[in-house]
Amino acid sequence: MVIKNQSEMKDGNIRNILRTMLWNAPISRADLCKKTGLTPSAVSALIRELLEIRVIQELGPDSQKNQGVGRPPSLLQLRANSYAAAGAEIGANYLSLGVLDLTGEMQDTMIEKIAPGEQPESVFDQITCYVAKQDSQLKEKRAKLVGLGVAVTGLVDTKRGINRFAPNLGWRDINVTEELSSRLSIPVVVDNNVRLMALGEQWFGNARDSGGLIFVQVGAGVGCGIVLPGIGLLRGAFDGGGELGHCTVLPGGPVCKCGKQGCLEALISERALVSAYLRRTAIHSETAGDPRSLSVDTIVEAANQGDIDATSVLREAAEFLGIGLATLVNILEPSQIVLNGNAFALSPLTRTWICESTQRHRFSSEENIELSDATFKGHQGMVGAATAALQQEIF
Ligand SMILES: [Zn+2]
């Protein structure tokens, strides 16, 4: 926390004020009282402390309210460049790094390739080098780096910061928190990458402060992050919650990496769509093309050009994804679904089919559920990771 060694109650009140300011700035002391439920004297005292440590700033009188009697209220907002958090996403073949200021603005982002079979130590060294450099640059600007968030693929024990299993990286039981804490003297928080993508979207993206959000990443696999009002990020009792990709949508369907049959991931992953397209085009060999150049992006491109096989493969995949999304909507009723990943998730053509299928399989279709693109695209995991660190240390 920005003010150390506080009682739990005071810590909660400070976080309440800073969170309220994040989503409602600029704001007066009186409006802070209304939105936080704190008394005017409590708000004044805490604001005084927060101004002293430069986490917030006073903007002066509200020019919109100077027609009435008396002095217009002074407005307050977060001081964006006073504190920051670093974020790192360790993807299947890339490392995304960046820094987020207090208002969620990205600074100094970079993306590096991770070679197949690269050892964890080498990835941690790259993260350490980047974070140490950012830390000293921020110090020069009188700003403070409060922590590092790390987003990793696969199963994560978030309490201990252990990446239990990342099949795409070949990692098992890697203690990410311990490895990075021993190299850097700042707090480190670790979670699954798609979960953190959802968190970043809900805090700083277009879906900020929404009434419930389902974030789905479609690519080599199918990841899902769920943020619920009043609960926050859904992790489940044993850190394995939100596994949309391993929900059965076609009993007896193709075998999944997890060993079960008919999982959503086994039907709509990059590899599944390419295989399905190759099977169809083998029947009409004149449209077959070079399989080495095939990807979901090229299949979507072919569908856009009217290719019948590409269209049928993608329509079927959209149907399966819609079944999965409708199931989550029926149970959780989010206000927004955010999609990220490859062209199947993002192109307008496939998006229409995914929407139609979701709508068709929902129980109640009275309330419209918005289906939108992720705000930070390729940086989404990094932003989410830094958000987790800001949430732990500031908000
Ligand atoms: Zn599975």
CATH number for the domain spanning 59: value is 1.10.10.10
DSSP string of 49-70?
HHHHTTSEEEEEE-GGG-SSSS
Task: Find residue 214's DSSP bridge partners.
Answer: 226, 337
Tokens found for residue 360:
């068709």
89 and 122 both lie in a single domain: yes
CATH code at 347? Answer: 3.30.420.40
Confidence label for 283 from pLDDT (cuts 50, 70 and 90): low
How far are the Cα atoms of 62, 224, 237, 362 from residue 331, in angstroms, in the given order?
44, 15, 17, 10
pLDDT of residue 261: 96
Q: From ligand 1's centre to the CA of 200, what distance in Å?
A: 26
Q: From ligand 1's centre to the CA of 82, what distance in Å?
A: 44
Q: From ligand 1's centre to the CA of 263, what distance in Å?
A: 5
Q: From ligand 1's centre to the CA of 48, what distance in Å?
A: 53
Task: Find residue 147's DSSP bridge partners.
Answer: 85
Q: From ligand 1's centre to the CA of 96, what distance in Å?
A: 26
Q: From ligand 1's centre to the CA of 73, what distance in Å?
A: 56
Q: From ligand 1's centre to the CA of 289, what distance in Å?
A: 30
Q: From ligand 1's centre to the CA of 224, what distance in Å?
A: 13
Residue 321, domain member (yes or no): yes
Q: From ligand 1's centre to the CA of 261, what distance in Å?
A: 7
**Confidence check: pLDDT of 288 > 60:** no
Confidence label for 285 from pLDDT (cuts 50, 70 and 90): low
Q: From ligand 1's centre to the CA of 131, what distance in Å?
A: 35
pLDDT of residue 49: 93
Q: From ligand 1's centre to the CA of 167, what distance in Å?
A: 13
Output the furthest CA–CA distance in the chain (Å, rounded): 81
Average pLDDT, the chain: 91
Q: Cα 303 to the chain's mean position, in Å?
A: 29
388 and 283 both lie in a single domain: no
Q: Which structural domain, as residue segments, surrounds residue 367?
A: 213-374
Residue 287, domain member (yes or no): yes
Residue 3, domain member (yes or no): no
Q: From ligand 1's centre to the CA of 195, what distance in Å?
A: 18
In 3D space, the residue among 98, 100, 104 whose CA is nearest the CA of residue 133 turns out to be: 98
Q: From ligand 1's centre to the CA of 201, what distance in Å?
A: 26
Run of H or E residues at 43: helix 40-52
**Confidence check: pLDDT of 286 > 60:** no
115 and 154 both lie in a single domain: yes
Tokens found for residue 187:
């707090």
pLDDT of residue 33: 96
Q: From ligand 1's centre to the CA of 8, what distance in Å?
A: 41
252 and 358 both lie in a single domain: yes
Domain boundary among 18, 44, 78: 78
15 and 111 both lie in a single domain: no
Confidence label for 322 from pLDDT (cuts 50, 70 and 90): very high
Residue type at 35? K
Which residue bears the tokens 């140490």?
Answer: 132
Task: Find residue 159's DSSP bridge partners.
Answer: none
How far apart (Å, rounded) are the C-alpha atoms in residues 43 and 384? 29
Instruction: Provide the percentage of residues in the chain whose pLDDT is more than 90.
Output: 76
Q: From ligand 1's centre to the CA of 347, what distance in Å?
A: 25
pLDDT of residue 52: 93
pLDDT of residue 69: 63
Helices (H) and strands (E) in the chain, counts: 13, 16
- What 8-state DSSP symbol labels residue 256? P
Tokens found for residue 299:
């299949």
Q: From ligand 1's centre to the CA of 262, what distance in Å?
A: 7
248 and 370 both lie in a single domain: yes
229 and 339 both lie in a single domain: yes
Confidence label for 233 from pLDDT (cuts 50, 70 and 90): very high
Domain boundary among 26, 45, 78: 78
| Mean pLDDT (whole number) for 374-384 | 95
| Mean pLDDT (whole number) for 386-394 | 96
Q: From ligand 1's centre to the CA of 258, what distance in Å?
A: 4
Confidence label for 230 from pLDDT (cuts 50, 70 and 90): confident
Q: From ligand 1's centre to the CA of 147, what distance in Å?
A: 34
Q: From ligand 1's centre to the CA of 307, what distance in Å?
A: 30
Q: From ligand 1's centre to the CA of 245, what distance in Å?
A: 6
Residue 1, domain member (yes or no): no
222 and 370 both lie in a single domain: yes
Q: From ligand 1's centre to the CA of 190, what distance in Å?
A: 23
pLDDT of residue 1: 67
Angle, alpha carbons 308-310-313 (nearest 5°): 105
Residues constituting the chain: 395
Residue 2, domain member (yes or no): no
| Mean pLDDT (whole number) for 333-338 | 93
Read off φ and ψ for residue 77, nearest 5 degrees.
-155, 165
Residue 346, domain member (yes or no): yes
237 and 275 both lie in a single domain: yes
Return the higher-pLDDT residue of 239 and 179: 179
| Sign of the dihedral through C-alpha 191, 332, 221, 248 | positive
Cβ-contact 339, 371 below 8 angstroms: yes
Residue 198, domain member (yes or no): yes
Q: From ligand 1's centre to the CA of 221, what distance in Å?
A: 10
Q: From ligand 1's centre to the CA of 339, what distance in Å?
A: 20
36 and 106 both lie in a single domain: no
70 and 152 both lie in a single domain: no
Residue type at 377? K
| Mean pLDDT (whole number) for 23-34 | 94
Q: From ligand 1's centre to the CA of 266, what distance in Å?
A: 7
Domain boundary among 78, 96, 130: 78
Q: From ligand 1's centre to the CA of 379, what distance in Å?
A: 26
pLDDT digit string, tens, across residues 57-69: 999 887 776 656 6
Cβ-contact 84, 100 below 8 angstroms: yes
Read off φ and ψ for residue 212, nearest 5 degrees.
105, 130
In angstroms and rounded to an integer, the radius of gyration of the C-alpha atoms of the chain is: 23
Q: From ligand 1's centre to the CA of 250, what distance in Å?
A: 11
312 and 236 both lie in a single domain: yes
Q: From ligand 1's centre to the CA of 59, what distance in Å?
A: 53
Please give the order of strands across the beta sheet that includes 94-101.
Answer: 106-113, 94-101, 83-90, 144-152, 188-192
How far apart (Å, rounded) are the C-alpha atoms in residues 265 and 256? 7
Cis bond leading into 26, ω under 30°?
yes
Q: From ligand 1's centre to the CA of 5, what distance in Å?
A: 45
Global pTM reads 0.91
Domain count of the fold of the chain:
3
Which residue bears the tokens 């910061």?
Answer: 161
Cβ-contact 188, 180 below 8 angstroms: yes
How far apart (Å, rounded) are the C-alpha atoms in residues 243 and 34? 38
Residue 310, domain member (yes or no): yes
Give buried/exposed letters for 310-327 (b at 16+ CB in 10 A, else e): bbebbbbbbbbbbbbbbb
